[in-house]
Structures are given as structure tokens and as C-alpha cells.
């Protein structure tokens, strides 16, 4: 099997209005221009316990899906412009829809929040940088490749 490149995984974001109304395909903005790294910082939520057998056990109680895009500012890009409108928002003002299509064609989609939005800054002789976290409220809906 040929190895896939990370750039073959496509990430899209869209404005959020409520948790039930998914955007149509035209409503999604491709998160690509200026983005040079897309980290996957998904975390298991765990609970440790010990029973009368004396065995320490870790139970997985949940999964928190997180992606961490980083790169260079492109205010002309619609996806980055959406992120920029959210950077000083609070509460539900930080919600978006996030969809990605994995390199095997599987699609994941769900409501997420933008965290730690950092736009601009850095050394005077470097390009403006952008970084943020896309954190899902719940495990995204999975649609296998058709």
C-alpha cells in the first residue's frame, strides 16, 4: 500500500448556528491556505481505579478530539477569516462546524470550538503566524467512504 501524505487529509470549517443544522457542502470552507502543520492532539479521558484483586486499571471514559492547525496568516482566505472573526468571542461564539476527510476517504463531521486562537506575532523579519485548536464537543459523526 502506498503511503499517504498528510496534505491528502482535507479539513473544512463552517459557521455554527446550532448543534443540529449541518452546513451544506457549499457552506464549508477549506482550511488549507497558509496552514503548514495540522497536529492531531486527540486525548483519551481516563479514570484510574484499583479493585480487590490489587490490579490497577485505567478505564477510558471518553475521547476528546482535537486538531491544532499552524501556519502563516492569510486574511484573504475565507477559512482563516472565519477563525479571525472568532478569536475574541466567548461561549457559543467560538463554535464552528468542522469536517475532515481522512486519506482513506472516511469523513468525520461535528460541532467544535476554536481554542487558543493566536493570529500574528513573532519576530519582526518573519511572516505573521496563526495557530489555534479545533476541539470537538463530542466524538464526530463518522461516514465511511462511499
User: Grid coordinates 491528502 are at which residue?
Assistant: 8
Is residue 70 included in any domain, yes or no? yes
The DSSP H or E segment spanning 86 is helix 78-86
Is residue 3 included in any domain, yes or no? no
Domain coverage including residue 44? 8-143
Is residue 50 included in any domain, yes or no? yes
Is residue 2 included in any domain, yes or no? no
Q: pLDDT digits over 7-44, tens only? A: 999 999 999 999 999 999 999 999 999 999 999 999 99
Q: Which 8-state DSSP code applies to residue 1?
A: -
Is residue 105 included in any domain, yes or no? yes
Provide the terminal-to-terminal Cα distance of the chain, rounded to the nearest Å: 20
pLDDT (0 to 100) of residue 51: 87
Is residue 109 included in any domain, yes or no? yes
Residue 32 belongs to a domain with what CATH number?
2.30.110
Q: pLDDT digits over 67-112, tens only? A: 999 999 998 999 999 999 999 999 999 999 999 999 999 999 999 9
pLDDT (0 to 100) of residue 40: 96
**Three-class SS string for 93-146?**
HHEEEEEEECCCCCEEEEEEEEEEEEECCCCCCCCCEEEEEEEECCCCEEECCC
pLDDT (0 to 100) of residue 121: 83
Q: Number of structural domains, the chain?
A: 1
Q: Which 8-state DSSP code applies to residue 27?
A: G
Name which of 21-25, 67-71, 122-126, 131-135 the model is least confident about: 122-126
**What are the residues whose beta carbons fall under 8 Å from the beta carbon of 8, sequence distance 6 or more?**
103
Which band of pLDDT confidence, cut at 50, 70 and 90, is reported for residue 145? Answer: confident
> Cβ(74)–Cβ(34) under 8 Å?
yes
pLDDT (0 to 100) of residue 108: 97
Amino acid at each position: 500500500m502506498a503511503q499517504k501524505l498528510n496534505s491528502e487529509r482535507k479539513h473544512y470549517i463552517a459557521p455554527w448556528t446550532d448543534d443540529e443544522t449541518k452546513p451544506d457542502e457549499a457552506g464549508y470552507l477549506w482550511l488549507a491556505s497558509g496552514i503548514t502543520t495540522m497536529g492531531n492532539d486527540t486525548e483519551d479521558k481516563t479514570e484510574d481505579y484499583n479493585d480487590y484483586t490489587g490490579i490497577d486499571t485505567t478505564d477510558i471514559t471518553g475521547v476528546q478530539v482535537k486538531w491544532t492547525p499552524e501556519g502563516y496568516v492569510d486574511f484573504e482566505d475565507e477559512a482563516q477569516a472565519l477563525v479571525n472573526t472568532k478569536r475574541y468571542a466567548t461561549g457559543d461564539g467560538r463554535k464552528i462546524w468542522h469536517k475532515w476527510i481522512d486519506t482513506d476517504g472516511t469523513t468525520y463531521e461535528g460541532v467544535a470550538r476554536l481554542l487558543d486562537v493566536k493570529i500574528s506575532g513573532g519576530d519582526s523579519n518573519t511572516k505573521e503566524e496563526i495557530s489555534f485548536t479545533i476541539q470537538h464537543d463530542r466524538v464526530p459523526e463518522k461516514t465511511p467512504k462511499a
